[in-house]
Structure 1
Amino acid sequence: MTEIIFLVEDDPDGGYVARAIGESIFTQAESIKELEALVRDAVQCHYPDQQRCSNMIRLVL
């Protein structure tokens, strides 16, 4: 698996939204710390057979 880059933006309703570039993966959270955990979870759900997906994730703020 190659690196997955997430673009992080402020959510107009509060918190943050993260969208993967080139993939149909996205999530939202109230804090950056929570967003990091939810992004890892979303990637694991999108690629359930891959191990150590968190090493391949980069958030761009």
Structure 2
Amino acid sequence: MSELIFVVEEAPEGGYIARALGESIFTEADTLAELPEKVREAVRCHFEEGQAPKVVRLHHVREEVIAV
């Protein structure tokens, strides 16, 4: 695997959650600044040495509700 994509969303209780697409990897962080290190940590724990993807992308999704 050469690339792994995480969907990043704001958590309802505060902070951020990140879920990998196609893998059972989930992590959370209090701030966007600490999220990349939390994702790296989760990826390292999930894959055997040498099997982790070369690139991890964080896809930020923001839901916005508007009145019509």
TM range (shorter): 0.7 to 0.9
Give the total of aligned pairs. 60
Question: One-letter code of the match for 2:56?
Answer: I
List gaps (5 residues or longer) in structure 2: 61-68
Provide the aligned C-alpha RMSD in A. 1.6
Equivalent position of 2:7 in the other structure: 7
Output aligned runs, 1:12-27, within 5 Å. 12-27=12-27
What is the alpha-carbon distance in structure 1 between the residues aligned to residue 5 and residue 41 of structure 2?
15
Equivalent position of 2:59 in the other structure: 60
Q: Is the 8 A contact 2:16 2:35 kept in 1?
A: yes
Equivalent position of 1:36 in the other structure: 36
- Cα displacement (A) at 1:23: 0.5
3-state SS in 2 of match to 1:41: helix
List gaps (5 residues or longer) in structure 1: none
Per the normalisation by structure 1, the TM-score is 0.87
Query: How many percent of aligned residue pairs carry the same amino acid?
Result: 52
Structure 1 stretches of 4+ with a deviation exceeding 2 A read: none
3-state SS in 1 of match to 2:18: strand
